[in-house]
Chains A and B, each alone.
Chain A
Amino acid sequence: MFTPQTGGAWYGYIAGAIVASIVLIVILTQLPQRARKWVLFTVTFLGGLFYALEFFLPTHEMMIEGNKAEGNFLTPFVVPMANILPALSSFAVGLGVINLFQLHTKRVLKWNLDSINSVVFFVAMILMTVAHIMAKRPHPSEFVTSLQKILFDGALQSLDATMFSIIAFYITSAAYRAFRVRSLEATLLLATAIIVMLGQITIGQLLTSSLPDYLHIEVVRNWILTKVNAPATRAIAVGLGIGSLAVGLRIWLGLERGSYFEN
């Protein structure tokens, strides 16, 4: 449906898409709230209708992009849609960046002790973005490659891993304070937690290795996970699924209060 562009045409298409997007956003913001709601409702409804019809309408054998496939008259448009929708999703990321910039600019302008965090945000974001874009260009210099390596491998990954690891300390402290045999339910929870934890580790398995097979801690843990825990989580998942379906239908049909920028 869409042919990939290269060279000057590629830049032309990118510029055209940006201009068209800005014009569209400006028009949308200038529209009265009632009209804007109808535009958004129509787009949402048609988007949902496309996937619903594509899924539910009867299929037959057909050729799509030279490949034999099962589908109906809407199926050939699934791939173009899959190419368009991630681009739309990227706007959400862009809006998030704009929002962060607005928030932190205000904090820097109001200068106080906490503003240093906002400065760090600007430095980190700009440096990381520039380094990544430069590193993606053909034949990047050694300096750019090293800078990207330091920022990504050295800083970002290590910070990310550290932040996540800290949770282990809180979990240990919280488990010690919260798991108390104050009621029958709490006792059951405590016993289950200890069995599952012991079954998870090699020392636990070693401790029960001399017992009959069915009393091995890893066997008991597997039984708890598959026969007790799985049905419960499945019931929750089914409930969540039905809830999501209901919410999805409400949003699709414009019935959800607060949809489309309503108060």
Chain B
Amino acid sequence: MNILRLLQTVDRRVIYVLLMLSVTIPFFLPIRLPMKVSPATQAFYNAVEELKPGDFVLLSVDWEAGTRGENGPQTEAVVTHLMRKKCRFAMLSFQPQGPKISQLIVDRLAKEYGYRDGIDWVNWGYRVDAKNYLKGFVQDVPGVIKTTTKGEPVANLEVMKGIKTAKDINLIINVTPSNIYATYIQFVAGAKKIPMVVAPTSVIVPEVFNYLDSKQIVGMMPGLPGAGEYESLLGTNTKVTRFANSASFAHLLIIFFIILGNIAMVMERRQRAQSGGNA
């Protein structure tokens, strides 16, 4: 087979193996690539930084294990920041796995920062039917939430002190791979003029930019790179940096193959045109 044709039709199994290597090897290498903070991530960070100790934050963790690679580090970064700022927060999710996976992150960080369940933070758990649920939620938070994941009535918890309606929430943070953030904007953040920030997966970043541009949200942490940028602002260095290395090399591999295929295609075309011209 012609070498130029071969470069255009590399077997997919070769690509799979190379991708696997480009993701795994950099993960174990002790390299730290420089990370520039985007304006969107900086705005997200500023929104949390402006909170005062004791302010109440709604952390909507609408993600599942499938997007843990991106949403996990995002949740970890923002929870770390909230705990450093000594803010109260409540987790809510419209995805079944969301509260449990996020609780694992919070439990780990709570030990480090001395956060107590029910006093400094609370897990409201999984709920269905976001649109109708949030319509009631804005009017009567404890009346609609009712109980925590442990079955305790939320109205009696110390963390809920002074929280009656959505207007008592100081910031909404939505970590999500879906467009649930639009429902929050529509029925909670927009309707009650509550500042909101979003941490989406990279794939929906272009959509979320619209809401950032229109100032309906005040900040965005775009995917895994955003989580890395946020960590560099926090001055922490955890797995995200290594994740970012893997993502960097995987992207480079994709770009390499795209360029390779195109160069081979253009050269083959030129070769054909020349041989056609000679004939």
* The stretch of B46-54, B66-74, B77-85, B115-123 that contacts the partner chain: B66-74
A86-B132 in contact (CB<8A): yes
Measured CA separation A86–B104 after assembly (Å): 26
Given A82-B137, A173-B12, A160:B65 Cβ within 8 A = yes
Tell me how far the C-beta of B239 lies from the nearest C-beta in chain A, rounded to whole angstroms. 14
* The stretch of A25-33, A37-45, A225-233, A252-260 that contacts the partner chain: A225-233
- Partner of A86 from B36, B133, B165, B244 at Cβ < 8 Å: B133
Contacts of A112 in B (CB 8 A): none
B129 part of interface (Cβ distance < 8 Å): yes
CB-contacts of A212-243 with B (<8 A): 216, 218, 222, 225-226, 229-230, 233-234, 237
Number of chain B residues close to chain A: CB under 8 A? 67
B164-A173 in contact (CB<8A): no
- Give the most central of A75, A81, A168, A233: most B CB within 10 Å: A168
Measured CA separation A86–B137 after assembly (Å): 12
Contacts of A169 in B (CB 8 A): 15-16, 19
- Partner of A163 from B66, B104, B252 at Cβ < 8 Å: B66
Measured CA separation A78–B136 after assembly (Å): 5
A237-B164 in contact (CB<8A): no
Measured CA separation A65–B140 after assembly (Å): 8
B69-A180 in contact (CB<8A): no
Given A86-B132, A198-B251, A230:B213 Cβ within 8 A = yes
Binding site for A on B (CB under 8 A): 10, 12, 15-16, 19, 23, 33-36, 38-39, 64-69, 97, 100-101, 104, 127-129, 132-137, 139-140, 143-144, 146, 164-165, 202, 205-207, 209-210, 213, 223, 225, 228, 244-245, 247-255, 257-262, 265-266
Binding site for B on A (CB under 8 A): 4, 51, 64-65, 67, 69, 71, 75, 78-83, 85-86, 89-90, 93, 152-153, 156-161, 163-165, 168-169, 171-173, 175-177, 179-181, 190, 193-194, 197-198, 200-206, 209, 216, 218, 222, 225-226, 229-230, 233-234, 237
A-B contact pairs, 27 of them (CB 8 A): A65-B139, A75-B139, A82-B135, A85-B133, A86-B132, A93-B128, A158-B65, A160-B65, A165-B69, A168-B23, A172-B15, A172-B250, A172-B254, A173-B16, A176-B260, A181-B266, A190-B258, A193-B258, A194-B255, A198-B255, A200-B251, A201-B248, A202-B225, A205-B35, A216-B36, A233-B206, A233-B207
